Chain A
Amino acid sequence: MIVPRGYADKIVYSVNSNVTANAEQVLNNQADVFDPGDTLPASLLQQVKSQASDRYKPVPTNSTFYFWFGITQKPFNNLAARQAVLAALDLRALSRIDSGFLEEDCHLIPPGIDGGGDPATCPYHNPNSAPNMTKAKQLMQQSGMIGQPVTVYGEDRAPRRQWLDYFTSVLNSLGFKATEKVVNSGVYFTTIGAPTLKPQVGWGDWVQDFPHPWDFMQLFAGNAGSSLNYGYVDDPHYNSALNTLFQKDPKSVASQWAALDNYAVGKAYYAAYGHEQFPKFYSNRLNFSAGVMSVEYQTDMTSLQLK
């Protein structure tokens, strides 16, 4: 019988923005827990799967990655321009950049939450297949926004920087004159949320705070403030539906939540592209099965046990 040495008496946090170095340390048992908020780099993934298969597992979480549009200014105050971007976005590409950890979906509400949408209902194209460039280019012609300069905001941390590169490349392929603004991850959200900045478009993500669809949909509420609603969306129908549905048991109105999500996708207020699987990856010092990955708090530190 293996008697565990017990729970940890002390937990030491080491902050390092080099994700590859962090993963190598856990792989080589020089560190114990890989931050699940980071993505395991693709260059190490095969090695992790082959050498550490007993201490690695991807865990689905209730989180969504998306690009938001600043809808109060050109060019994304134009619906056709926004829709063109959604039609041109290849969600498979974004998933590959994330080492395959994304479940592709155009909806904001993750599948693990009441009202989580069915990717098959995505209006522009199937998230698991190629984008619809013909439709995208038609929408761009219709919008009259070809040649408009656009600055895309994103974080410097991998793979967010690579997502930013890809998204900018898509905008340029549509005819925008897009450039990037890479902001340090430590100050990214305060930067884009500053009321004086009013960025045109940028990257965002949300991890569930509590298991309710409102937790995700409130990001685009008119009264959410610039620190959440970076695009300054203020749709009366959306706001009213949000307030109404919030009063009710989410299970009983799950289909209405899904419909609201579809409504927002149709209006292209955001270009959601997937829900992350977080890596549960420990060193061989820890009892892997005892460690708990919480959808709210990710690694439950109180559950960590030495073997």
Chain B
Amino acid sequence: MIPEPDSGHGQAELVAGASPGGTAGIVTAPGQQVTDPWAEGRHPPAIGPWKLAARRLRRNYVAQAFLVLFLMIVVACLLAPFYASHIAHIGPNTNNVTGTINIGGKTTDVVSTDGVPIGPTFSSRYFFGADSNGRDLAVRLLYGGRTSLIIGGIGTVIIIFFGTLVGLLCGYFRGVPDMILRPLMELIWSFPVVILGVALGTALALGGIGPVKGNSLYIPAFIIGVVFIPYLGKPIRGEVLRLREQDFVEAARVQGMGSWRIMLSEILPNLMSMITVFVPMMLAYAILLEAYLSFLGAGVQAPNASWGTLISDGLAYIQTTPTYSLVPGAMLVLTVLSINVVGDGIRDALDPRAQVRVRT
């Protein structure tokens, strides 16, 4: 029932979803004639679910703000080589222990003779200070962010691809694939993520995998991918088990479509909203796990920087130069927070149960 407009004490605005047959009257001002968009000859434009989700997302200003923040962090990290060569004039792994810097007309050692590195200068060189090897922390922070984001991104791609594949195979074929893959997923799932990641990271950091050396960035990305596959694979499997019993799948079988074609053309599109919700969630988990592994020495290997290694390296200076650990820590928090908020916004936008909101 549409509430009558209140003539003198505020106005109620009913905003409805585009479900056919639902009430869709919009009252915007007292006395304004109500136009029924469903009247004969009048058809409101059709809005698909993705467009509707995009519209909802556009109205979520908080998610948009954090999306902008995330994109700023990504762009800043991707511009790390530019910053290193044109602003700081030093690479991320270039040691400068006996170098000097001019601050306010005074020449200062980058690392003093008793080993104390310079603190934040807030200038183009050594903006956040130096570490004990004379390396520029601001440069390492940006390169570390690049590393963390790249590893998180590759790990997420592995999770999404193989998690979806495993879920599809288990859920659609059942039988032998399910008998083999499901216990494997349960086995990986049963290990605490960090402990499994550290164990794999420590083992693979020494010997690598095949042609991939132990200090390659692909090693932690691979580990993160493998560890989180069940976190997507299991929900996908459950959804596929439900979808395979639907009429449209039966119709496709009757038409003679092969199993793979049914999976890819009928079932997979119906999984896209679920996968879309999982992407930011998995990206956040992947970046966090990479930081844990690198902090513990089982992820990114020295001398390469990541936010985790920078936090670990800075612990020895937490009393004298807390920025050494706090700044990469803050970057990590902001990045994961922004991904989580954007992910929440995407989930809310895609949630089919969010049909009506009343705004007064």
A interface residues (Cβ-Cβ under 8 A, vs B): 18-20, 41-46, 90, 92-100, 130, 156, 158-159, 161-162, 164-166, 168-170, 172, 179-182
Contact = CB atoms under 8 A, between A and B. Distances in A.
Contacts of A168: 93, 303
B302 A161 contact: yes
A194 B270 CA distance: 56
B320 interface: yes
A92 B303 contact: no
Contacts of B317: 43
B273 interface: no
Contacts, number: 92
Of B115, B214, B317, most buried by chain A (CB within 10 Å of CB) is B115
Of B114, B213, B320, most buried by chain A (CB within 10 Å of CB) is B114
Given A43-B316, A43-B320, A164-B302, A100 B113 contact: yes
A94 B93 CA distance: 16
A44 B319 contact: yes
Contact of B95 (A44, A46, A93, A100): A93
A138 B315 CA distance: 40
Nearest to A182: B302
| Main SS class of interface, A | helix
A180 B213 CA distance: 11
A170 B133 CA distance: 12
B95 A166 contact: yes
B123 interface: no
B277 interface: no
B124 interface: no
Instruction: Determine the interface band of chain B, counting residues with CB < 8 A from chain A.
Output: 20 to 34
A182 B321 CA distance: 25
Contacts of A158: 316
Of A19, A42, A179, most buried by chain B (CB within 10 Å of CB) is A42
Given A165-B303, A179-B215, A180-B302, A97 B97 contact: yes
Nearest to A98: B115
Contacts of B111: 93, 96-97
B277 to A, nearest CB: 39
B108 interface: no
The 8 closest A-B pairs by CB, nearest first: A42-B115, A93-B97, A99-B115, A100-B114, A169-B95, A43-B320, A20-B316, A165-B303
